Each structure stands twice: as structure tokens, then as C-alpha cells.
Amino acid sequence: MVAMDWPEVENEFPMVLGSNLAELGGRKSSVDRDATIRAYAQAERGGADRCTCNGCRNFRLARMRVFPPEFLELLDRLGIDPRKDGEVYRNARLAPGRHNYGGWFHFIGTLDAPDSDSGLVKFGDDFSAYICRATAPRLPSLNQHPVVQLEFNADAVPWLLDEPEAD
Ligand SMILES: [Zn+2]
């Protein structure tokens, strides 16, 4: 990886700087988008699709309306397939038909920034994300690579399963 100066970014809008540099919420990392795309293509299923609990089955139905367009754009620019999360988990029902979920993805690269700051970026009122060091289980096809973790939190996941809503 070639060392270089980072451009100053004035707003906090999530963005990827060039094809092999990423910044989110002031945290910077390298990104190997092509290698990430290959690893996701090799992964048969993501965490939500391997789990049979009602929370994960509901998320499979809801995710493409839960991920904001700007987040989907970020995933695309990192080389991440939005349907192949590392894992998702339902935390709570905030109101009828409205659930809080967390989850994460990984991409191939290395984090340059310290983990001390929050680095949290809001994608609208109900969705936030940040990048951090990889600590959580990843897709098997990413095992042989250095990866960065992209965590998300969603506050307005609808209940779309045709079965009783979880508490
Ligand atoms: Zn599950």
C-alpha cells in the first residue's frame, strides 16, 4: 500500500475516496474492492440467511427497504454484497411493526484510524453505521484476508413475516 496524504473532508457524509481508500465518520481505511467482490461471490450465504430464527427470517424480507440508498451505495463502493451480512441480530421491538436490529459486514482492507472516536455516521433518522477493527465472525471466504468491520444499527425495521411479531 502506497502512503499518501488524505484529502480533508468537510462534511460527514459517508464516502469512499478513490478506488482503494475509504473514509466513514472520520475513520480511514484501505479497501481492496475487487478482492472483496470476489470473496462475496465465493460466499454462498450471509449470516441472516444461515439462521432460522424469526428475527433473521424477518430481516431477509426487510433488508432491502431498511438499508438507505446511501448505505447501499457505500456497500457497493466497498465491494460488499448487501444480501451477505456477517451476522444480524434483532435487539427489541420499539413499537408495533418497528424493530431495532444490529449487524455487520466486512470488507478487505486495513483500518488506519484509531478506534477511540465513535466514528458513527447517521444515514437518516433510523440508520447509522461505523467502521472498526474486525472482531466479529466473518464470512468464511474472508478468512484469509485482512478485513475491516462495518457495523450498522437500524431502528425502524418493519415486521414482514407472516407470523406473530416478536416482542
Ligand atoms: Zn437469527
**pLDDT (tens digit per residue) in 95-132:** 999 999 999 999 999 998 665 567 889 998 999 999 99
CA 59–ligand 1 middle distance (angstroms): 9
CA 77–ligand 1 middle distance (angstroms): 27
The answer as to whether 150 is a domain residue is: yes
Q: State the greatest distance between any 2 C-alpha atoms of the chain, in Å, as a whole number.
A: 54
The answer as to whether 3 is a domain residue is: no
The answer as to whether 166 is a domain residue is: no
Contact by Cβ (8 Å): 115, 78 = no
The answer as to whether 113 is a domain residue is: yes
CA 53–ligand 1 middle distance (angstroms): 4
Confidence of residue 136 (pLDDT cuts 50, 70, 90): very high
Domain extent, residue 119, equals 23-157
Number of domains in the chain: 1
The answer as to whether 87 is a domain residue is: yes
The answer as to whether 9 is a domain residue is: no
The answer as to whether 126 is a domain residue is: yes
CA 84–ligand 1 middle distance (angstroms): 14
